[in-house]
Amino acid sequence: MLSKFLVAFCATLLSLSSILPLTTGGFSYSDPEQFASVFLENVAKINLSNYEIASVRSSPMPMPNSQHNKTAINIAFGNKDHNLSAIISLIDGKFCTYNLYLLSGNLNGDEQTFNTSLVGARSAIEAYTRIFNASHGENFVPMISEALETQKLSLSANGILLKILQDNALPLENTKLQFFEEIRDGLTTPFRSVSLSVSKAGFISCLVDNMMVYHVASTDIKLSEDEAINISMPYIEAYALSHGQQTTAVNATLGFIRDLDSLRGDSFAIYPSWSVSAYFDRINEENAFGYDVLVWADNGQIGDHNPRTQPTFGNNNSGNNSGIYSWLIFASLPLLLVSVCLGTYYRQRRKKSRGRPK
């Protein structure tokens, strides 16, 4: 009776707040559980027949300063060995991110080698490319095959840069593959990248596809480094003068970033920019030791400018810290409660099974 109550409680806790038409790539499902199951079985390589699904939730996520819509699917599932939660996010109906969390217990399975991890990653990319109509993934598969053959951790082909990282110290992940699109003159950006992680048990624990939703709006670079610094200096000098500081060094870095606050019309559009950083002779009363200015390299307009401050500890920002901690606690409550519920549920099942006559 208790186990039934706990399962019902978990289902209520993470009940569907909304069931929205979910469309991405090659299919469209209105059932979040079916959507998540297709992804987990085919891309993440998790055999759901070995688990019991406790709950599925689909809910809209706020995106301030954006005209885009984000949906998050949360599916909690487990067995006698461990409990897991997967969160899949979609933007405007397109797949964006997937993350797997180990809530309790231990993962079973053979420890993955470098080669078996790459084979699993290649299979996942093949399935993802096919099911989600992610055509950019077609360039990734031969690169993984080449990495298998050459054992190289860094490769470049067809305007794509592949970096492979291994970290056995992580609790869940074992091997991470990152694919970056070379936008211009060898420059890359996280906003035009795909990253995939293979767990120690062999299934995919993370997939982030920024190429699906972010797009390059311009590659025109009309400003030189000196011109970007000259445009930035009035902002830097005005701040330094008002706080009795002197500028000791200034540098500028060219890159591609997204229109974060939709000031240019689309928060998922990527533009070239100069990031100008100035450093002062001392730290002022606002804890600022420098000043940063963002200059769009294609039109010379200021994108943003702010003092550069160092982090503070102790009671100086206790109000802000307490807000952050409160948010973290609030955000972690559903995962914590699901973990407790599932753990209790399986303990009750084991007690019942031990009490049955043989």
Q: How confident is the model at residue 170 (pLDDT cuts 50, 70, 90)?
A: low
Query: What integer pLDDT is reported at residue 345 of this predicted model?
Result: 52
Question: How does 181-196 read in b/e, with b if 16+ C-beta sit within 10 Å?
Answer: bebeeebbbebbbbbb
Q: How confident is the model at residue 168 (pLDDT cuts 50, 70, 90)?
A: low
State CA 7 to chain mean position distance. 29
Q: How confident is the model at residue 242 (pLDDT cuts 50, 70, 90)?
A: very high
Q: How many helices (H) and strands (E) does the chain have?
A: 6, 16
| Mean pLDDT of the 321-348 span | 45
Domain ranges (residues) in the chain: 2-213+326-353, 225-309
**Contact, 96 vs 71, CB < 8 A?**
no
For the cut 70, the answer to whether the pLDDT of residue 284 exceeds it is yes
Copy the structure tokens of residue 163: 């970096």
Helix then strand then coil, % of the chain, to nearest 5: 35, 35, 30
φ, ψ dihedrals at 280, nearest 5°: -105, 170
Residue 185 parent element (H or E): none
Closest Cα partner for 220 from 294, 293, 295, 296? Answer: 296
| Residue 118 CB burial class (10 angstroms; 0-12, 13-18, ≥19) | buried
Give the tens place of pLDDT for each residue, 3-44: 444 434 444 433 333 333 455 555 555 678 888 999 999 999
Give me the DSSP letters along 302-324. EEEEEEEE----TTTTHHHHHHH
Rounded to a whole number of angstroms, the distance between the first and last alpha carbons of the chain is 22
| Mean pLDDT of the 253-274 span | 93
Copy the structure tokens of residue 120: 């699993």
Q: How confident is the model at residue 68 (pLDDT cuts 50, 70, 90)?
A: confident
Distance CA 38, CA 205 (A): 15
Q: How confident is the model at residue 140 (pLDDT cuts 50, 70, 90)?
A: very high
For the chain, how big is the Rg over CA atoms in Å? 24
| Mean pLDDT of the 132-154 span | 96
CATH class of 225-309: alpha beta
